Structure 1
Amino acid sequence: MKHTTLGDLDVSRIGLGAMGMSVFYTGAGTDDAESVRTVQRAVDLGVTFIDTAEVYGPYVNEELVGRALKGRRDEVVLATKFGMISHADADGGIGVLDGSRANIRTAVEGSLKRLGTDHIDLYYQHRVDPDTPVEEVAGAVGELVQEGKVRHLGLSEAGPDTIRRAHAVHPVTAVQSSYSLWNREVEERVLPALRELGIGFVPYSPLGHGFLTGTLRSPEQFDEGDWRRTSPRFQGENFRRNLALADEVRAVADEAGATPAQVALAWLLSRGEHIVPIPGTKRVARVEENTAADTVELTAGQLAKLDSLPPAAGRDHSEEERRLIER
């Protein structure tokens, strides 16, 4: 596995997103033993960057990752996230944004315990809290860095202005946002700012929530708890139109002698040196397929075909979700 850097943090060129092992997708949480094997197989293959969050479950995904990495913690860079649970609320405040210093301190202790570690390598603010200045958030995480509980600060779905303000208080190592062949909004403002500041970028959902793998042909493949049922991009005419985009990716894959997922990841790797996608999966076979993408070399013509693909039809997120995303 090739390596690169996020800021001064050394990581494998492709990471692993653990969210779908526990929540939000069809089949999540139905086979934890296979999910544990998937994490361990990823590490065997040279993946050194594992991503989770306290809100995934909540909590159960961090516990799963902790079990999977028992005895192998030192082999990986471990990332988790805070701020989408308000611990001050009697009901746990699931989905309530809270970037306060008190909440961060409560969150980090819980994450450390669930992950079975004494430090978190990359600690992201999961979404920007409009009620807490990001300078306070950066300062609070900076204190945790001084105490050795956290190594690096990250932000998720933050816009350029927020990134700059946080970075002025404490160095931001990486920003995580949705980025793929069918979601390229970050190219306009976010990526240029990150390159200017020397901050790494971590694309989540690099396979378009599975759509770019070419295996999704009908919304009927999703169970009732699958969040994609609420995504405009997966509904009605939008879904049918987007099948053509997935077919174009498959055509390039056939030409390149690779799978559609590998082509989608190889395209992302071509976008810059300090870009580290974290494809999510809960299956060993898929992690083997995804991690092999760093050996796929696309030609200039193939990259041009992918670059010229039309935007996906429909919004990637619901209006409620989009309110939590800065661009």
Structure 2
Amino acid sequence: MNRSDSRIGRRELLKLIAGLAGSYWISPGLIQAAERTPIKKPIPVSNEEIPVIGMGTSRTFDSAGNREKIANLGKVLEQFFKMGGSLIDSSPMYGSAEHVLGMLLKDIRAESLFAATKVWTDGKEHGVTQMAMSKKLWGIERFDLMQIHNLRDWQTHLETLNAMKAEGKIRYIGITTSHGRDHDELYQALSTHPFDFVQMSYNIRDRAVEEKLLPLARDRGIAVIVNRPFARGNLFRLVKEKPLPDWVDEFECNSWGQFFLKYIVSHPAVTCTIPATSKTHHMLDNMSAGFGKLPNKETRKEMEKTFEQLSRG
């Protein structure tokens, strides 16, 4: 991922903060040794609140066998929890990510962990076996959220997940996609079955889900997790070396990364987003988006307009 810092001294400031205690945070022009409470949103079916910035593990945590990378990921994970992080999302689809994550969680204080993974296979028995393996790899007693990955055999797995939830083996049930071609099927699934969570791709450039899926989720009381918030880094390339507008200070935004994340989580239907990174200074920047203020409806429109102008330039 290519992320360019747009303010003088921003990169140096991030490096400085990353080396300090986790209770420090950035405000415009000032470093304060004081803890802040991260912005949280409620899960509609329970009113349980979770921070609006979570963490993904796709690609970044697929590092089994590489001690140097794993050690670095441990620092990334520590930074996440120091800054009030909670929801971590993974999947059997992500190579060794669940295995690496479980290794690291053994040595990190993670009382706030909201563990979310997925079932990604065909057939009831294969699904049960896969979910049991995920629990073993994570080293946890139960998952907070189990999701059906990319709608794969979703009718079969939904029956299993409903039974597991009734037995207290999982807390919430979800379904996911990161592909626009599956939106119609996802819409039908959400319209006809009581899911607690849905996960989908959404960012300031790709806003297709605003038309039907986000309104449906809000109407049916379904929590929304947003994946690919940076469009796999493409958003940064579109604004590379371009300055942030001065008015972003109004909602305590200090980088393009925070600009993109605050835009997403300020949508009324979105519960949280899960940017993935393997760099501590990017984790610091990501988590900083979950503090302070969020843009309002009018500011969101101005953000859209600004991004469209800059990305064409």
1:64 — aligned with what?
A: 100
Which stretch has the larger CA shift, 120-129 or 139-148? 139-148
- Separation in structure 1 between the aligned mates of residue 39 and residue 226 of structure 2, nearest angstrom: 17
- Separation in structure 1 between the aligned mates of residue 259 and residue 82 of structure 2, nearest angstrom: 22
The aligned runs of 1:188-207 (5 Å cut-off) are 188-207=211-230
Specify which of 133, 145, 150 is matched with residue 127 of structure 1.
150
SS at match of 1:155: strand
2:234 — aligned with what?
A: 211
Deviations 1:205-261 (A, max 9, x none): 11221233x3x4xxxxxxxxxxxxxxxxxxxxxxxxxx2xx2598433785351000
Cα offset, 1:173, TM superposition: 1.4
- Separation in structure 2 between the aligned mates of residue 50 and residue 82 of structure 1, nearest angstrom: 15
- Separation in structure 1 between the aligned mates of residue 89 and residue 247 of structure 2, nearest angstrom: 30
- Decide whether the 8 Å contact of 2:215 with 2:269 is kept in 1: no
- Separation in structure 2 between the aligned mates of residue 144 and residue 311 of structure 1, nearest angstrom: 49
1:162 — aligned with what?
A: 189
SS at match of 2:175: strand
Letter in 1 for 2:49: D
Cα offset, 1:164, TM superposition: 2.2
2:11 — aligned with what?
A: none
Letter in 1 for 2:157: V
Cα offset, 1:311, TM superposition: 11
Residue 252, structure 1, aligned to residue 248, structure 2: no
Specify which of 18, 41, 57 is matched with residue 18 of structure 1.
57
Deviations 1:79-109 (A, max 9, x none): 00112xx4xxxxxxxxxxx2x2212201111
Percent sequence identity over aligned pairs: 22
Cα offset, 1:179, TM superposition: 0.6
- Decide whether the 8 Å contact of 1:135 with 1:165 is kept in 2: no
Cα offset, 1:301, TM superposition: 6.1
Residue 139, structure 1, aligned to residue 152, structure 2: no
Cα offset, 1:115, TM superposition: 0.3
SS at match of 1:117: coil
1:233 — aligned with what?
A: none
- Separation in structure 1 between the aligned mates of residue 244 and residue 91 of structure 2, nearest angstrom: 35
- Separation in structure 2 between the aligned mates of residue 161 and residue 300 of structure 1, nearest angstrom: 28
Specify which of 138, 143, 153 is matched with residue 115 of structure 1.
138
TM-score (norm 2): 0.74
SS at match of 1:264: helix
- Separation in structure 2 between the aligned mates of residue 107 and residue 151 of structure 1, nearest angstrom: 18
Residue 267, structure 1, aligned to residue 260, structure 2: no
Deviations 1:279-304 (A, max 9, x none): 11111111111111122544766432
- Decide whether the 8 Å contact of 1:4 with 1:10 is kept in 2: yes
Figure out how many residues of one structure are paired with residues of the other and give that number: 257
Alignment RMSD: 2.8
- Decide whether the 8 Å contact of 1:66 with 1:114 is kept in 2: yes
1:230 — aligned with what?
A: none
TM-score (norm 1): 0.71
Flag structure 1 segments of 5+ consecutive residues without an equivalent: 87-97, 217-242, 314-327
- Decide whether the 8 Å contact of 1:38 with 1:287 is kept in 2: yes
Cα offset, 1:306, TM superposition: 2.1
Cα offset, 1:36, TM superposition: 1.7
SS at match of 2:141: coil
- Decide whether the 8 Å contact of 1:253 with 1:259 is kept in 2: no
- Decide whether the 8 Å contact of 1:36 with 1:64 is kept in 2: no
Deviations 1:51-102 (A, max 9, x none): 1111111xx111121122226354210100112xx4xxxxxxxxxxx2x221
SS at match of 1:151: strand
**Change in CA separation of 1:300 and 1:29 when aligned onto 2, cut-off 3 Å:** farther
Flag structure 2 segments of 5+ consecutive residues without an equivalent: 1-37, 178-182
Specify which of 186, 194, 198 is matched with residue 175 of structure 1.
198
- Separation in structure 2 between the aligned mates of residue 77 and residue 248 of structure 1, nearest angstrom: 36
Letter in 2 for 1:6: I
**Change in CA separation of 1:194 and 1:16 when aligned onto 2, cut-off 3 Å:** same
- Separation in structure 2 between the aligned mates of residue 38 and residue 50 of structure 1, nearest angstrom: 12
SS at match of 2:115: strand
